Amino acid sequence: MDTSRSHALFDRARALLPGGVNSPVRAFKSVGGEPFFVQRADGPHLFDVDGNRYIDYVGSWGPMIVGHNHPAVRQAVKRAIGAGLSFGAPCAAEVTMAERITALVPSCEMVRMVNSGTEATLSAIRLARGATGRSCIVKFEGCYHGHGDSFLVKAGSGALTFGVPTSPGVPAALADLTLTLPYNDFDAASALFAERGHEIAGLIIEPVVGNANCLPPRAGYLQHLRALCTGHGALLIFDEVMTGFRVALGGAQARYGVTPDLSTFGKIIGGGMPVGAYGGRRDLMQQIAPSGPIYQAGTLSGNPVAMAAGLAMLELVSAPDFHAALEAKTAMLCDGLEAAARAAGIPFTTTRVGGMFGLFFTGETSVDTYAQAVACDTGAFNRFFHAMLERGVFLAPSAFEAGFMSSAHDDAAIAATIEAAREAFAATAA
Ligand code: PLP
């Protein structure tokens, strides 16, 4: 495979961009090697600057649920562009977007549009702190909520001790206010709330974890967290930046039947444009400026082009049976990969929820904790990743990221992926 043009671009990029990229995981540091540079994308495929084609299971990290360059989204963007790029004053598409989100996700009685998932989660915890008058937030090991200071924190030496920053630049005094729990552990959550419940403004969780591979919630776990938050006057925040409109039309909250106080969104609602949103109970959202005192703003928030892309995308995913069909594709892929691994004698299992999935190089038959995810054989994953890439399949370049299915992945693309995996597993074993 010729990658000389990508290589030359990466050389130029490294001179001027930290690590050669504008977001760390793109640099392939975790799997080794160098990234390819994309020239264009269409349907389930990416095409690089050297003319190589890849079946893409990254999907721009989630937004591309109908495949790349979908004509309906493209047309909507073209129409919007004709009327101007940004107004800095209200426009109708923002109202339509709010109507659409609140209709699809009933726990969101009101919403505020922002420009990224990071902005959405930062704003949601400010609201939780402002509304409750408390300072602590709870997050889970392995969950990612963007790069806000309060989220770049891991557990201290004991589960009930202060959090410690995971990045220089995050003040220890702020990290102290982030309490970290193991995902899917009922007792740890009960113990933390028993001890510190009165200090907790809100608990934020990826209801299906997609940033530590893919970890589904245990039966009753989200309900348990709901009860703890209600019992202790803390807000339950579902970070649905990844799961929203993907694991079900109404997101994880619809799939598992749990109603959060606040939710955050991104990715799919922007249709590939930079968009985020947060929403929730009316009495909470009304505390946001200008109707309330909790400040949050954005020059480009509710941008008309981004709203047009997002609305077109929401229209497409609202088609009858869209999510059932997507889930069937994910099942076909995961079953095929497991069979290919078995045939090659590789210890391997998958997880999947709707249109997202996880690949685990492990002898365990089911994986749903962060500890299990980090115990997997990352060396085997990295070999598999490169063997797949050489065969024209692009998986997430890290053993700790979920994979994303799109409606554009037809049977032929999935069959070709499984065929590539048969060879790649054999190469991984060798
Ligand atoms: N929350 C979750 C669950 C995410 O997966 C991400 C990004 O991957 C974010 C928040 C941050 O979103 P963004 O990268 O748009 O800032």
Our answer to whether residue 256 is catalytic in this structure is: no
For ligand 1, the distance from its centroid to the CA atom of residue 309, given in whole angstroms, is 18
Nearest atom (ligand 1) to Cα of 143: 3
Say which CATH number the domain at 142 has.
3.40.640.10
Residues 49, 198 within the same domain: no
The catalytically annotated residue of 48, 56, 185, 239 is 239
pLDDT at position 248 = 98
pLDDT in tens, 66-112: 999 999 999 999 999 999 999 999 999 999 999 999 999 999 999 99
pLDDT in tens, 118-151: 999 999 999 999 999 999 999 999 999 999 999 9
Choose one of 271, 294, 317: the last residue of a domain. 317
Residues 377, 308 within the same domain: no
Our answer to whether residue 154 is catalytic in this structure is: no
For ligand 1, the distance from its centroid to the CA atom of residue 415, given in whole angstroms, is 30
Residues 82, 95 within the same domain: yes
pLDDT classification of 429: cutoffs 50, 70, 90: confident
Tell the residue nearest (CA) to atom 13 of ligand 1.
117
Mean pLDDT of the chain: 96
Q: Is a pLDDT exceeding 90 seen at residue 430? A: no
Across residues 289-294, what is the average pLDDT?
A: 98
Tokens at 291, concatenated: 């109707």
Q: Is a pLDDT exceeding 60 seen at residue 195? A: yes
Residues 117, 41 within the same domain: no
pLDDT at position 158 = 56
Residues 54, 99 within the same domain: no
pLDDT at position 239 = 98
pLDDT at position 99 = 98
Domain total for the chain? Answer: 2
pLDDT at position 160 = 53
For ligand 1, the distance from its centroid to the CA atom of residue 423, given in whole angstroms, is 33
Choose one of 293, 317, 341: the last residue of a domain. 317
Residues 147, 208 within the same domain: yes
Residues 76, 194 within the same domain: yes
pLDDT at position 155 = 77
Residues 374, 405 within the same domain: yes
Say which CATH number the domain at 389 has.
3.90.1150.10
Domain span at residue 215? 71-317
pLDDT in tens, 29-59: 999 999 999 999 999 999 999 999 999 999 9
Residues 29, 45 within the same domain: yes
Question: What residues line ligand 1, using a CB cutoff of 6 Å?
Answer: 61, 116-118, 121, 144-146, 206, 210-211, 239, 241-242, 266, 276
pLDDT classification of 328: cutoffs 50, 70, 90: very high
Residues 156, 263 within the same domain: yes
Across residues 238-246, what is the average pLDDT?
A: 98
